[in-house]
Amino acid sequence: MDLQLKIITFTLMLLLVSSSVSAQFRVFHISRYGAALEGDITQALTNAWSDACASTTSSKVVIPRGTYNLKQIEFKGPCLAPIEVQADGTIQAPQDPNQLNGDTQWIKFTYIDFLTLSGAGTFDGQGTIAWNQNNCAKTKDCKKLSMNFGFGFLNNTIVRDITSKDSKNFHVNVLGCNNITFTNFNVIAPATSPNTDGIHIGRSTQVNITDTNIATGDDCISLGDGSKQITVLNVTCGPGHGISVGSLGKYPNEEPVEGVIVRNCTFNNTDNGVRIKTWPDTPVTTTVTDMHFEDIKMVNVKNPIIIDQEYCPWNQCTKQSPSKVKISKVTFKNIIGTSATEEGVVLICSSGVPCEDVMLTDIDLTFNGTVATAKLSNVKPIIQGKSPPLLNFLFPSP
């Protein structure tokens, strides 16, 4: 049984177990703690969580249908038994970004085993005012804006059926987690919303994202350092900046990224499709290996396939020294559709540590009705089946 099938099987088992024991849940309904429609449920939800987390049998905190206001909150474990938060209402963050601490997330789950976040609810970050204040891409001296969700140091977690809307910053930050699955998870934000990555993953293992729709103003999914055994299946991305490994190489002590599968995904009118990006001119040395991008459809995507080891937005660095991040064992297979630019494949690798074992198999991309081209530097790809013609081919002399 391959890794993907094992992950799917385990996730289905967790869902089955969750369903089979639902009748045994102790239910903690926020209305019993004084929550009211259109009101602030922060204290009621805090108290309900505290009691549920202390339960020695499986528990469920319920937020019913309706609209509620919620201030910054942390759901912290460890809890004594599996716990679920079922949100069926619309939960709204404060509009004023000054009412939230940008150094943490609006809603944070930490140090919990066997957590489920479910329901048909929408978590509305009300980010419109904050987006107009966001200049962090251009200057380091900027005010941090709060993310919708933080999932930190969780084991065996499922997030399903909920919607994250208009976050002030990233929608989801996953850090230090092991075996966390997002399924039928929806992210909604306009293309003009800055730095609103859908799901950002860092230093986590076995993260699975399946049957999910992400529309946002930055990366749909971004993988930071230490991301391992990441599986992305049946995800629709757009608008947004695509699915990105990185950026990497900017900060000290970065951990390797390895074991990534992106399969059966669709990109609609995004800036990038599948991308690996690293910073040049930094002292950081790390590796990216065992990346597989397969069975993907591009619809009017500016950079359908891209490795960019000269990533340097807003002139925040120089390109005097090459990136020290080593990229190897990368597969791009059965990627079809339309490119919004002539160069459908751009592989710009580091002259200091050239890419190795990069494979292009059955790449069928067109630009304005003609075959898109490929631009390569510091890489000797293995080409199988159909592939775009090489626009240039640069490789340093040994």
Q: Among all residues, which ones are annotated catalytic? A: 241
**Of residues 271, 277, 229, the one with CA closest to residue 250:** 277
**Of residues 342, 316, 318, 331, the one with CA closest to residue 276:** 331
Using DSSP, state whether 147 is helix, strand or coil. Answer: strand
Which residue, chain included where needed, has tokens 């850090």? 175
Maximum separation of any 2 CA atoms in the chain, in Å: 72
Instruction: Return d(Cα 72, Cα 105) in angstroms, integer.
Output: 7
Strand 373-377 with 272-278, pairing: unpaired
Which residue, chain included where needed, has tokens 């992210």? 187
Instruction: Return d(Cα 352, Cα 346) in angstroms, integer.
Output: 18
**Exposure pattern of 7-38 as b/e (b: 16+ CB <10 Å)?**
bbeebeebbeebeeeeeebeebebeebebeee
Instruction: Return d(Cα 383, Cα 178) in angstroms, integer.
Output: 35
The encoded tokens of residue 294 equal 């397969």
**Of residues 182, 275, 271, the one with CA closest to residue 222:** 275
Contact in structure between 69 and 30 (CB atoms under 8 Å): no
